[in-house]
Structure 1
Amino acid sequence: MAASEDSEHLQRLFCAIKKVIRKIPRGHVATYGQIAELAGIPGGARIAAAALKTSKPGDQLPWQRVIGKAGKLRGRIAIHDPVGAAIQRELLGAEGVEIGDTGLVALDRYGWMFATTGGRDRGASPRRPPRSASKSRASSSRR
């Protein structure tokens, strides 16, 4: 691939990632890896981070809703700059997202879940319990 083709390919990837970021609803967060997967780039968390880092104010991205992964059910504010991290914390707090003292966010409560992730655990919507929990409750109530 020529350098210009590489650049065009990267720009297409960045565009796909930015489209996904724009869809994250207020009061929810998504991890870099989740965003990359939904943009069609499995394993592309670093590409998602690069797309966000190179974005411009005119892109109008809800950047504060993008966090790093910190375990299966936790995400973390991934900005290393204390000022940027404080801004992200403030913006997410204004949306109702609770952030622990160490920057942790409960993905099972605030994570953005897509039907397109093939049922894999991507964090549940706070308005709806995960499918397995609702099925087990329904089956136990029939007994």
Structure 2
Amino acid sequence: MRKVLHEDLIYEILAAVGEIPRGKVASYGQIARLIGRDNNARLVGNVLSHAELYGSYPCHRVVNHAGRPAPNWPEQQHLLEREGVQFKPNGCVDMKRFRWEC
């Protein structure tokens, strides 16, 4: 049986993403921990992939734990660079410098 996401949970995730300051990034796991769902990084990614249905959120500020942007979203790197986020030669965000410390 497939679980249905409740809108409260969706908006809780999106609210946490909305708090990420310009020029900083957070990981999917970090957002999951912020909302008290430590092991639900994939859930966060799933919600963010449909975020446009719920309004405008800075989803481009969420990357994986290593700083890798979403694989099928080439604009994400450009959006982050416009905010001053720098990438390492391997294509990942420098998480030591740009991770949001919340």
For normalisation by structure 1, the TM-score amounts to: 0.65
The amino acid that maps onto 1:97 is: V
Q: 1:45 to 1:58 in 2, by over 3 A?
A: closer
Distance 2:54 2:44 in 1: 18
Task: Provide runs of 4+ in structure 1 moved above 4 Å.
Answer: none
> Which residue in the other structure is 1:16 paired with?
12
Q: 1:13 to 1:57 in 2, by over 3 A?
A: closer
Question: Offset at 1:10?
Answer: 3.3
> Which residue in the other structure is 1:56 paired with?
52
Percent of paired sites with the same residue: 34
More strand by share: 1
Distance 2:50 2:61 in 1: 16
More helix by share: 1
> Which residue in the other structure is 1:27 paired with?
23
Q: How many residues align?
A: 102
> Which residue in the other structure is 2:91 paired with?
103
Runs of 5+ unmatched residues, structure 1: 115-143
> Which residue in the other structure is 1:45 paired with?
41
- Which entry has the higher C-alpha Rg, 1 or 2? 1
Runs of 5+ unmatched residues, structure 2: none
Distance 1:19 1:58 in 2: 11
- Structure of greater relative contact order (alpha carbons < 8 Å, 6+ residues apart): 2
